[in-house]
Amino acid sequence: MSQAPRHDLFDAVGQTPLVRLATLSRSIGREVLAKAEYLNPGGSVKDRAAKFIIEEAERDGRLRPGGTIVESSAGNTGIALAMLAASRGYKTIIVLPGDQSPEKIELLRLFGADVRFAPDVPFADERHFYHEGVRIARETPGAIYADQFNNLANFRSHLATTGPEIWEQCGGTIDAFVCACGTGGTLAGISTALKERKPDVRVVLADPFGSSLLSYVRDGTLDASGDSLVEGIGIKRITENFKRARCDDAVRVDDRSAVEMARYLLRSEGLFVGGSAALNVVAAARVAMSMPAGSTIVTLLCDGGARYVSRLFDAAWLAAHDLTPKADALEFL
């Protein structure tokens, strides 16, 4: 059946497919389904939060014609904001930490964003990219600060769209949802939506090394150890969005497992996805194997692999970081 044209680019955000990971599901005897968020217009799950942030700011009168949107971003939210802002004539200033992939930086510039960089310093340091974004927004006439970390439009976007979409696409057959966090809005919104419909659905946070969220979920502390090269996820503080997440447990995933899964998904499932998506699938598979055979586990494919070709899929970069894939089949699980 044909579908009517979307009203505009904003209207095209969401309603992404839920894809069964057929090879992986057969291998582990559980159904692993992945929401293909990289098929959003801006290429990532962050399109949803960006849409709600802009629309709420317009309704509140804070964002006016010709205005400027400032955001501190690891890339994908900045890209989503720049794309949607371009479609409505807004300007964007995106402040990045200095360790993001060149592909994301170039894409931001192609959308017309004013890209600025902040040093890689702890959050308490005023030079941190979050604080730098707040300062720039305050000093720029006609600007708003999007604040994906604490702006609850982020949470509301997933409560209203992503969570209900997953529920409907599963036909209510879901035993667990597994997802990593950057701002916390995605996990918070989806977990709330799912638990409102099925209180005993298991929600598990997937956390990289260097993040404090696993220890917070498990024992209420903000302990962290190690580090991770996976972009856009993991954090050492509790945001307003994450406070609304309804987690039952958390699992840790190392970079090597994420790299191995990225290669597995490309070669065995035909899916070209980024590091956070691969990490999500590792965590989903491990959670699945701890559950009864035949269980259904859902996760997210946050963005596509094209934004990480020079890193995650580059042999020299992987070798330099001792991440050259080594495992056969699913041994890394």
Indicate whether 219 belongs to any domain: yes
Domain of residue 256, residue span: 10-44+158-320
CA dist list (Å): 198 to 56, 179, 249, 283: 29, 17, 17, 21
Same domain, 79 and 194: no
Name the band, by pLDDT with cuts 50, 70 and 90, for residue 2: low
DSSP state of 269: I
Residue with tokens 């509301």: 156
Q: Examine the pLDDT at 1 and tell me if it is beyond 70.
A: no
Sequence-distant (≥ 6) Cβ neighbours of residue 91 within 8 angstroms: 66, 67, 68, 69, 85, 112, 114
CA 250 to chain centre: 16
Q: Are 306 and 42 in contact (CB under 8 A)?
A: no
**Same-domain check for residues 100 and 122:** yes
Q: Provide the number of structural domains found in the chain.
A: 2
Q: What are the DSSP calls for 245-258, one per residue? A: ---SEEEEE-HHHH
The per-residue pLDDT for range 62-94, each reduced to its tens digit, is 999 999 999 999 889 999 999 999 999 999 999
Sheet holding 91-97, edge to edge: 114-118, 91-97, 68-72, 143-145
Count the neighbouring beta carbons within 10 Å of the beta carbon of residue 55. Answer: 15
- 105 belongs to a structural domain: yes
Q: How many residues does the chain have?
A: 333
Residue 333 lies in a domain: no
Q: What type of residue sits at position 270?
A: G
> Do 131 and 234 lie in a common domain?
no
Instruction: Point out the domain boundary residue: 123, 145, 167.
Output: 145
Give the end of a domain, one of 145, 172, 193. 145
Which residue's entry shows tokens 């997802």?
A: 179
Q: Do 35 and 171 have their domain in common?
A: yes
Q: Residues 239, 244, 248, 254: is their CA dihedral positive or negative? A: negative
Computed over every residue of the chain, the mean pLDDT equals: 95
Say what the pTM is: 0.95
Q: Is residue 55 part of a domain?
A: yes
181 and 313, same structural domain?
Answer: yes
Average pLDDT over residues 286-314: 96
Radius of gyration of the chain (CA): 19
- Where residue 84 sits, what CATH number does that domain have? 3.40.50.1100
Minimal CA–CA distance to 169: which of 197, 149, 147? 197
Is 172 within the bounds of a domain?
A: yes
Question: Could you give the CA distance from residue 207 to residue 179 in angstroms, rounded to a whole number?
Answer: 8
Given 145, 177, 204, the domain boundary residue is 145
pLDDT at 7: 85
Q: What is the pLDDT of residue 3?
A: 76
Asked whether residue 87 is domain-assigned, the answer is yes
Residues 139 and 66 in one domain: yes
**Strand runs labelled E in 129-226:** 143-145, 176-180, 202-208
Model confidence over 9-44: pLDDT tens digits? 999 999 999 999 999 999 999 999 999 999 999 999
Q: DSSP character for 304?
A: B
Residues 175 and 297 in one domain: yes
Q: Calculate the CA 141 to chain-centre distance.
A: 30
What torsion, rounded to 10 degrees, do the Cα atoms 313, 104, 162, 212 define? Answer: 80
Please check the confidence at residue 156 and state whether its pLDDT lies above 50.
Answer: yes
Same domain for 22 and 66?
A: no
User: Known catalytic residues?
Assistant: 46
- Give residue 280's Cα distance to chain centre: 10
- Looking at the structure, do residues 83 and 200 belong to the same domain, yes or no? no
- Tell me if 3 is assigned to some domain: no
CA-CA distance, 330 to 312, in Å (whole number)?
18
